[in-house]
């Protein structure tokens, strides 16, 4: 992620985190090295609830959702997906165990530069997600300050070899979808070793599956061209929404949401490119979601 220097006296930024899923999620927040900690690093967020989290104006790091969490008889807290391994609700400097849908940010800190942000499926997928700048309307006129994310229910279409099943073992429902790098640990999928450069690491059938599902999200390590977004005037913060949109997007393949209608954005994995909606169609959907979210806030 791109770095930024803190501007003296710059106002803190706010992430307004909303759970539009029909089940509780436990957001986790990790600061990058050298970035000040946020006001919280983990908390429970019931369905329909919103929490504002304050970060430094030049903060950088990531936000994600943990699911199927509980505390055992010894008092240790853990989650079936995206657990941060702290043993507590607060992640306290620990990151998400893949697979996890990640919102990544580098804020400019009032220096006049651009914020950089993206939604990444490089570490796999567990929950649909939207991020959108809380920016003045004119800021989007030049193509900056756009919404991005992965609103599709990727778990429902996850290839069998990448699927993470719900506990207990043997349950058919998928609660997460692993990346090919995590599943196979091969350099070509991980963009490592001889494949550790943009020229050498090309999209694979698995990264194309993720890209087809969510054209605006990162699908592999060097997927920068269509997946990194900027905002020069974010207005002090961002919305982060889990399970954005209509009820058809709210299940996320999570057994806690059993009985919900299937997603309208389902895909079939064919091991080939050309899987689903165009990037423009998905961005248009995301912008419509942002508009509806803003109307609900007002």
212-224 confidence digits (pLDDT tens) = 999 999 999 999 8
225 vs 257, residue with greater confidence: 225
In a domain, 261, yes or no: no
pLDDT, tens digit (0-9, with 9 covering 90-100), for 28-77: 999 999 999 999 999 999 999 999 999 998 999 999 999 999 999 999 99
72 assigned to some structural domain: yes
Q: Is the pLDDT of residue 4 over 90?
A: no
Q: Does the structure show a pLDDT above 70 at 162?
A: yes
Read off the pTM.
0.81
In a domain, 295, yes or no: no
Instruction: Return the pLDDT at 169.
Output: 59
- Whether the Cβ atoms of residue 146 and residue 134 lie closer than 8 Å to each other: no
CB 134 within 8 A of CB 140: no
* Residue 289 covered by a domain: no
Element (H, E) at 148: strand 148-150
Q: What does the mean pLDDT of the chain come to?
A: 81
In a domain, 298, yes or no: no
Secondary structure of residue 119 in the 3-state scheme: strand
Greatest alpha-carbon pair distance for the chain in Å reads 55
Q: Determine the Cα–Cα distance for residues 78 and 139; give it in Å rounded to an integer.
A: 41
Quick one: what percent of the chain has pLDDT higher than 90? 63
Domain count, the chain: 1
Does the CA dihedral 155-177-104-117 come out positive or negative?
Answer: negative
Looking up residue 80, the CATH number of its domain turns out to be 2.60.110.10
Question: pLDDT at position 258, please?
Answer: 32
Residue 259 φ/ψ region, left for φ over 0, alpha for ψ in the -120 to 50 degree band, beta for the rest: left
Give whichever of 106-110, 112-116, 198-202 has the largest mean pLDDT: 198-202
Q: Is the pLDDT of residue 260 over 90?
A: no
**Domain extent at residue 18:** 13-242
% of the chain exceeding 70 in pLDDT: 72
Q: What are phi and psi of 259, to 5 degrees?
A: 100, -10
Residue 73 lies in a domain: yes
Place 109 in a pLDDT band, splitting at 50, 70 and 90. confident
pLDDT at position 108 is 87
Closest by Cα among 14, 265, 214 to 101: 214
What is the structure's pLDDT at 134? Answer: 87
Q: How far apart are CA 251 and CA 190, in angstroms?
A: 29
Answer whether residue 129 is part of any domain.
yes
The Cα–Cα gap between 38 and 63 comes to 11
Is there a domain that residue 250 lies in? Answer: no
Per-residue pLDDT for 8 more than 90? no
């Amino acid at each position: 992620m791109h770095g930024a220097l803190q501007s003296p006296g710059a106002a803190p930024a706010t992430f307004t985190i909303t759970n539009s899923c029909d089940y509780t999620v436990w957001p986790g927040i990790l600061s990058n090295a050298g970035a000040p900690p946020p006001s919280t690093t983990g908390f429970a967020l019931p369905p329909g609830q919103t929490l504002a989290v304050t970060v430094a104006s030049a903060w950088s790091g990531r936000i994600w959702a943990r699911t199927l969490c509980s505390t055992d008889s010894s008092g240790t807290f853990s989650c079936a997906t995206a657990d941060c391994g702290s043993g507590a609700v607060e992640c306290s400097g620990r990151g998400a165990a893949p697979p996890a849908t990640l919102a990544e940010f580098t804020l400019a800190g009032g220096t006049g530069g651009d914020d950089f942000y993206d939604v990444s499926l490089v570490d796999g997928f567990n929950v649909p997600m939207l991020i959108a700048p809380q920016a003045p309307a004119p800021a989007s006129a030049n193509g900056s300050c756009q919404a991005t994310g992965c609103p599709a229910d990727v778990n429902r279409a996850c290839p069998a070899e990448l699927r993470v099943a719900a506990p207990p073992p043997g349950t058919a429902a998928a609660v997460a979808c692993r990346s090919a790098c995590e599943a196979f640990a091969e350099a070509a999928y991980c963009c490592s070793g001889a494949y550790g450069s943009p020229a050498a690491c090309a999209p694979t059938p698995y990264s194309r599956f993720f890209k087809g599902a969510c054209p605006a999200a990162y699908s592999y390590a060097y997927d920068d061209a269509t997946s990194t977004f900027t905002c020069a005037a974010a207005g002090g913060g961002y919305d982060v929404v889990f399970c954005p949109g209509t009820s058809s997007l709210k299940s996320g393949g999570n057994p806690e949401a059993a009985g919900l209608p299937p997603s309208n954005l389902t895909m079939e994995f064919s091991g080939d490119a050309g899987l689903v909606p165009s990037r423009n169609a998905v961005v248009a959907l995301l912008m419509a979601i942002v508009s509806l979210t803003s109307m609900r806030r007002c």
